[in-house]
Structure 1
Amino acid sequence: MIQSVQRAFQLLETIAAAPRGARLSDIADAAGLNRSTTHNLLATLQELGYVTQPTRGGVYTLTDRFAEIARRSTVTDDLLRERLRPVLEAITQSTGETCYLAVPAGDQYVYLDAVEGRAPLRLTIPIGGREPLLGTAIGHALLSLRSDLCQRLAAEEPAAWEKAADSVEQARVDGYALDLADFHADIACTAVPVLDDGRARAAVAVAGPITRLPESRLRKIAALLRQATEAAHPPAADSTNT
């Protein structure tokens, strides 16, 4: 943990929690810092365009910079959803099971899109729903090619990481992850990462009752997922695992 970065985000979160802005003294007290250190950090954030102080000695407020970054992320997700929607539809048509698209979000992943299977008994998770990275097939598929996330989770959740580490490594070796009803009772899942410059930008997964998705069938579906996602979003010729 780099202390100066941690402190900078503390200040940003403190300002964000004050709709009408926050004074230097209040920001310093909330962050547990002296006023000189707080002022220097705020001056840097102001120079970078993330905070503003309209009047000298007045309150600090956030600029629109974060909203602009969020909008760019939303556009990227929309493009990803558009590119992979035909893959989800084709896999559901082929397997009869629900197919999902998900992206990492902190220590979780969020569902961007889904095409539901035709069977009456199926797993239904709303778009925008979240699940943890650790302990799930989608999470392990994402982590298998995201060393940055692995390192962070190993530091922040050592017990959970130790339990999941072997599965994440197996997913890296196999190119897909399996969940044989370990996370959701009676629900099995397989997931493959979607690569962007060698990193797992997203994951595509198939999930359903384990009575219809035993391990042997899941592995066959995983092969279909890999083939379909690589055709839709082929990895760069010189990409390497990170």
Structure 2
Amino acid sequence: MNSVRKALLVLETVADLQPVGVSELATHLKQPKSSVQRALETLHEAGWIRAAAGERTRWELAFRAGRLARKAGSHFGLREAALPIMEKLRRETQETVHLAVLDDMEIVLVERLESPHAVRHVEPLGGRAPVLVTATGKAMLSRMSDADVARIYAVAAGAASQAVAAADAPALPDLLAELATARAQGYATTASWRDGVFATGAAIVGSDGRPIAAISISTPSVRAGEEARTQHAEMIVSAARSISEHLV
């Protein structure tokens, strides 16, 4: 069982850091390089990861991981309901559209439609990200009670993952104030999770008003002027509402 847990941890870390080499993985996980290498070989043989292009051996998720992410997103018809609306959003904005769900204290990307622009931002399918600092994560948190947010915050901030530390997660009072604004306006934004990227996210909710997932528009900051931000905010709120209505 320990070897299974270790392999799954390596798989999740590859998703977070891809493309990534064995030395970087071992340092990130604080595990012996030989142990991480064995896990990588097992995952590669099983078809979960593949070698990325380049002279050095660096690993990334394989298509099997993407299929698993899509299956997770299909729960309760989420992916089927979201895809047509995501496609319309991508066509009208010409930017990348992401669909994510909450898994424990992180978000997991379950679908994406890429921008046709040469300069664009794309997250890996199946990739995980901190709930406290991403547009999709904050959009989902904004539809929860302050008590639930505080509970999630205590665990997520207590984990002190490198990803959260690098993104400079806000203090809880600041986060609650930001979520109150997001709740009132119907969307959340972030420019701190990925350098040079501005994202706008809105929650997809069930009949009880609780968040099921979230969608976001991700655009390079050079194209995220005030007019584009206003337009994206209006469109993402409408899109999330439409998906939610399809799920009821």
Match of 1:97 in 2: 95
For 1:18 and 1:121, the matched residues in 2 are separated by 40
Quick one: which amino acid aligns to residue 118 of structure 1?
A: P
Residue 75 to residue 120, structure 1, CA distance change in 2 (3 Å):
closer
After superposition, the Cα gap between the structure-2 partners of 1:198 and 1:94, relative to the gap in structure 1 and judged at 3 Å, is: same
Preserved CA contact (<8 Å) 2:73 2:111: no
The alignment partner of 1:117 has SS state of coil
Q: Secondary structure at the match of 1:232?
A: helix
Q: 1:223, CA displacement in angstroms?
A: 1.1
1:232 alignment partner in structure 2:
243
**2:86 touches 2:239 (CA, 8 Å); kept in 1?**
no
In the TM superposition, what whole-angstrom CA distance separates every residue of 1:129-157 from its partner, at most 9, and x where no partner exists? 11101112111101001236413123333
Q: Counterpart of 2:192?
A: 182
**Partners of 1:235 and 1:170 in 2: CA distance:** 26
Q: Which residue of 1 aligns with 2:154?
A: 155
User: CA–CA distance in 2 between the matches of 1:78 and 1:93?
Assistant: 25
- One-letter code aligned to 2:193: F
Identical pairs, percent: 28
SS in 1 for 2:213: strand
CA distance in 2 between counterparts of 1:229 and 1:160 reads 25
Aligned position for 1:22: none
Q: Which has the higher helix share?
A: 2
Q: In 2, distance between residues paired with 1:153 and 1:78?
A: 24
Contact 1:102 1:110 in 2 (8 A): yes
Cα displacement (A) at 1:182: 1.8
Counterpart amino acid of 1:229? A
Unaligned segments of structure 1, at least 5 residues: 1-15, 20-72, 238-242
**Corresponding residue for 2:204?**
194
Higher RCO (CA 8 Å, separation ≥ 6 residues) = 2
Report the residue type matching 1:209 in the other structure.
P
Matched, 1:203 2:214: yes
Q: Which runs of at least 4 in structure 1 moved beyond 6 Å after TM superposition?
A: none
Partner of residue 57, structure 2? none
- Write the distance in 2 (CA, Å) between the matches of 1:160 and 1:17: 34
Q: CA, structure 1 residues 129+228, in 2 after alignment: closer, same or farther (shift >3 Å)?
A: same
Deviations 1:151-188 (A, max 9, x none): 31233337745242322221111110011x22211100
Please state how far the C-alpha of 1:17 moved relative to its aligned partner.
Answer: 5.0
Deviation at residue 201 of structure 1 after TM alignment: 0.6
Q: Secondary structure at the match of 1:201?
A: strand
Q: Equivalent residues in 2 for 1:72-221 (5 A)? A: 74=72, 76-77=74-75, 79-147=77-145, 149-156=148-155, 157=157, 160-162=170-172, 163-179=174-190, 181-196=191-206, 197-221=208-232
How far is the alpha carbon of 1:189 from its aligned partner?
0.4
Distance 2:246 2:84 in 1: 18
Task: Note the 1:16-55 alignment, pairs <5 A.
Answer: 17=2
- TM-score by length of structure 2 reads 0.61
The 1:150–1:229 alpha-carbon spacing in structure 2 relative to 1, beyond 3 Å, is: same
Which is greater in Rg? 1
Q: Secondary structure at the match of 2:175?
A: helix
The separation in 2 between residues aligned to 1:83 and 1:178, in whole angstroms, is 23
Q: 1:100 to 1:236 in 2, by over 3 A?
A: closer
Q: Quote how far apart the aligned CAs of 1:104 are.
A: 0.5
Once the two structures are TM-superposed, the CA of residue 111 in structure 1 deviates from its matched residue by 0.5
Count of matched residue positions in the alignment of Structure 1 and Structure 2: 169
Q: What is the Cα deviation at residue 227 of structure 1?
A: 1.4
Indicate the SS of the match to 2:198: strand
Which residue pairs with 1:63 in the alignment? Answer: none
- Paired AA for residue 155 in structure 1: A
